[in-house]
A and B are shown apart, each in its own frame.
Chain A
Amino acid sequence: MENNKIRVALAGNPNVGKTTLFNAITGSRQHVGNWPGVTVEKKSGTRIYKDYEIEVIDLPGTYSLTAYSMDEIVARDFIIEERPDIVVQIVDASNLERNLYLTTQLMELEAEMVIALNMCDLALERGDKLYLDKMEEILAAPVVRTVASKNIGIDELLDKVIEEKNNEQYHGHEIGYGDEIEDKILEIEKVLNEDGGLAGKYPIRWMSIRLLEGDVNVMRKVAKSQVSEAINDLLDSIDQEEYEAEIADKRYVTINAIFPQLCTRSDVKLSRSDMIDRVLTNKYLGIPIFLALMWGAFELTFAFATPFMDMIEIGFTWLATSVAASIEPVWLASLIGDGIIGGVGAVLIFVPNIFILFFLLSLLEGSGYLARAAFIMDRLMYKIGMHGKSFIPMLMGFGCNVPAVMATRSIEDDRDRLITILVVPFISCGARLPIYILFAGTFFGRQAGTIVFLLYILGIAVAIASAKLLRSTLIRGKPAPFIMEMPPYRVPVLKTSLIHMWDNGAMYIKKAGTIILLGVIVIWLLASFPWGVEYGSEESYVGIIGHSFEPLMKHLGFDWKITVSLIFGFVAKEIVVASMGVLYGVGDNQEALAQSLLADPSITALSSLSLMVFSLLYMPCVATLGVIRKETLSWKWTIFALSYGITVAWIIAFVVYQGGSLLGY
């Protein structure tokens, strides 16, 4: 039955338990994707309840709907363009004042509203009193108490949603902005009403208010109308900045006026959160505790994942060899074994890291500590042209760039996020270490440790320099302002974290997986053709490419063998070592490989240093590129990441090799 479908949008501030409520309503019947054309995550799900099919769309968490960020634009456009049947606003009962600011805006959008007063338990525990009847009367919307983390009030909420949907008449209240502004609103409304197209589509009062506030997005909607000139004339006569402040002010004045009627707040001087913060963001203890927590998160993500990764690797190697052994002809066996199974393995190998990291990030976010982490690190990060929130993704980069790039999703500002994504690949991940161990160990003896340490520092330095360079060229401007709520500390909801972990793992496989698989197969093709050559040999396309790049690479001290290994390293950087073993005919015997390298006159200590520098910087591996494409939604930036890396690597390795040669090494 068509009319038994209800479309519900969930709106609300961040940190009010919106995701938890969404999970409580939809259970596992949910779908995660992106809003069209933007990198903002879109979650939707359905719930069958009392003969109704309720589709729930989780809007991005926002404090306002004034088009400050992409999140706000997405949320707002959904409400005004798609016109969901009901908008449920989740309101944090222990923080009514600021939450009601969004309510006032939803009222102006003339949305059919139901209010879920969440975390009532915390507010009541604190001694607050909430007057629900008064709230329903003043806000002209049903109000339901919920405690999403304990599944309390969910059915009542759905009942109200159905009731409200079947309730034909719309009733809403509006905020008065004072005579001067109201006059202006009326004037603009009159002009807008002349355009039937606009008047029929959007709430006119809302539109007028937004125009007074100088909303660029709404201006764009009006620009196509025949009344745009008249509107521009009207707006030219006012000081929009003044109006913007005045309007925000009036909203809060209204909230102040109604607030005492809705609840009485107990006067707790020092909350539990404040006490925790006295320790966790303490001037002296804050940083050591932060570093200890980060170290723990890092260890858990990468050390705890290692056995799972080993299992995946062993499993896939076994599968590849046994499949290869049982298939004829040889080329098909190699395609399925080395190409496809190897490729799937290359995709899945990162899943343990991604699962654990996103689980931990969700715990940190749910507990409220993630905001403190940004608070503690912002000063340092701002100095290098980045945002406090960039720190955790960069740190995770030392383990593996793939989850690190995905972790940038917590950075709201698109440009801050893009810069972080582009510089993360210079952070030396764990897969690069085997290369350093082989070459530094072979050629630098007792200095090996120092060399490896310097390589890590070089990676950080190049990341910082690149961030600065991007800030002054392609992605101009300062980091986004740091205006962040420090939410109260709470016990994270396990189910929310588990779903978050699962969603991100699944998204990675779906979105990045295909690109990674494709990359691996391309390398397989290059190594196996022309027809009949030995896999990865001098006569294969890889070998030919290695040779043809020799004129360019010899300035770095590399012969064709090294170049070929580096091409294989695109699949995963640790493969550089394995493919050198193959090219020197020693397999995976590290000791024999070290001996052959020492015996090879074309590799010196200097060229091995240049090689390590090049391996550190040269390009994100195919998996990292896959997630860069997934997170930026742009091939342009993905290709930029690839070519920028190669260029930087070539230049720095050139300086190292040629400089070293000049100095007589």
Chain B
Amino acid sequence: MLKELTQMFDITLDTLKPGDMARITKVRVRGPARRKLLDMGMVAGSEVELIRKAPLGDPIEFRVKGYNLSIRKNEARQIFVHLVE
């Protein structure tokens, strides 16, 4: 039930747990970081998997477009995703 609910609503990327897969719905990041994220494949529709968090909890490492990318929570908080199975 809870799982179905979370799948209905968009959550932000920073709330994922290691192993979670999600599909990006919206990139709300502004400024130069936006450009870079888009270039690195963080575009709406991309599937991302959270791999791990840094030992101090930030940044976070994802798998996207077949490679590993790490970004800070600051930016992750502004990327909206949909959990997928």
A positions within 8 Å CB-CB of B: 63-64, 66, 68, 95-98, 101, 241, 244-245, 248-249, 252-253, 265, 273-274, 277, 281-284, 286-287, 371, 375-376, 378-380, 382, 388, 480-487
- Distance in Å from the Cβ of B45 to the closest Cβ of chain A? 7
Known contacts: A95-B67, A379-B54. The answer to whether A101 contacts B35 by CB under 8 A is: no
Q: B57: which A residues are within 8 A, CB to CB?
A: 379
Given known contacts A244-B35, A481-B71, A486-B69, is B54 in contact with A97 (CB within 8 Å)? no
Closest Cβ–Cβ distance, residue B34 to chain A (whole Å): 7
A98 touches B56 (CB 8 A): no
Residues of B within 8 A of A483 (CB): 33, 36-37, 40, 69-71, 75
Most chain A CB within a 10 A radius of its CB, from B37, B56, B74: B56
B33, B36, B51, B66: the one within 8 Å of A274 (CB): B51
Closest beta carbon of chain A to B29's beta carbon, Å:
8
Cα separation A283 to B18 with both chains bound (whole Å): 12
**Within 8 Å CB of B43, what residues of A?**
245, 248-249, 252
A66 to B44, CA, bound (A): 19
A273 to B61, CA, bound (A): 13
**Residues B54 and A382 in contact, CB atoms below 8 Å apart:** no
Given contacts A97-B41, A379-B59, contact A486 B70 (CB under 8 A): yes
A128 to B63: give the CA distance in the assembly, Å.
Answer: 18
Main secondary structure on B side of the interface with A: mixed
Closest to B44 in A: A249
Contact: B39 with A66, CB < 8 Å?
yes
Say whether chain A's binding surface is mostly helix, strand, loop, or mixed.
helix
Q: Are A486 and B68 in contact (CB under 8 A)?
A: yes
> Within the complex, what minimum Cβ distance (angstroms) separates A70 from chain B?
12
B38 touches A244 (CB 8 A): yes
Say yes or no: B45 contacts A95, CB within 8 Å.
no
* 5 shortest interchain CB distances as A-B pairs: A64-B39, A248-B38, A481-B33, A286-B55, A379-B56
In the complex where A95-B67, A97-B65 touch, is A376 in contact with B54 (Cβ < 8 A)?
yes
Give the docked Cα–Cα distance between A376 and B55 (Å).
Answer: 6
Residues of B within 8 A of A (CB): 27, 30, 32-41, 43-46, 51-59, 61, 65-72, 74-75
In the bound complex, how far is the Cα of B34 from the Cα of A66, in angstroms? 12
- List the B residue with the shortest CB-CB distance to A285: B55
A287 surroundings in chain B (CB, below 8 A):
55-56
Provide the bound-state CA to CA distance between A378 and B55, in Å.
10
Are B44 and A485 in contact, CB atoms less than 8 angstroms apart? Answer: no
What are some 25 contacts across the A-B interface (CB < 8 A)? A63-B40, A66-B39, A97-B66, A97-B67, A241-B34, A244-B35, A245-B43, A252-B45, A253-B45, A273-B68, A284-B55, A286-B54, A375-B54, A376-B55, A378-B54, A379-B57, A380-B56, A481-B32, A481-B33, A481-B36, A481-B75, A482-B71, A483-B33, A483-B69, A485-B69
Q: Are B45 and A244 in contact (CB under 8 A)?
A: no
Taking CB as reference atom, which chain A residue is nearest B32? A68
- Which of B34, B39, B43, B59 counts the most chain A CB atoms within 10 A? B39
Specify which chain B residues have a CB less than 8 angstroms from the CB of A241 in the assembled complex: 30, 34
**Is there contact, CB below 8 Å, between B52 and A95?**
no
User: Which residues from chain A contact B71 at a C-beta distance below 8 Å?
Assistant: 481-484
With the chains together, A486 CA to B66 CA distance in Å?
Answer: 12
- Expressed in whole angstroms, the minimum distance between the Cβ of B81 and any Cβ of chain A is 15
C-alpha gap A251/B18 in the complex (Å): 28
Closest to B62 in A: A486
Are B56 and A376 interface neighbours, CB within 8 A? yes
Given contacts A481-B33, A481-B72, contact A252 B66 (CB under 8 A): no
Given contacts A64-B39, A375-B54, contact A486 B75 (CB under 8 A): no
State how many angstroms separate the Cβ of A604 from the closest Cβ of chain B.
44
Question: A378 to B33, Cβ gap below 8 A?
Answer: no
Set of chain B residues within 8 Å of A252, measured between Cβ atoms:
41, 43, 45-46, 65
- Given A379-B56, A382-B72, A483-B33, output 8 extra A-B contacts at Cβ < 8 Å: A63-B36, A63-B39, A64-B39, A66-B39, A98-B67, A245-B34, A481-B32, A484-B69
- Complex: how many Å from CA A63 to CA B40? 7
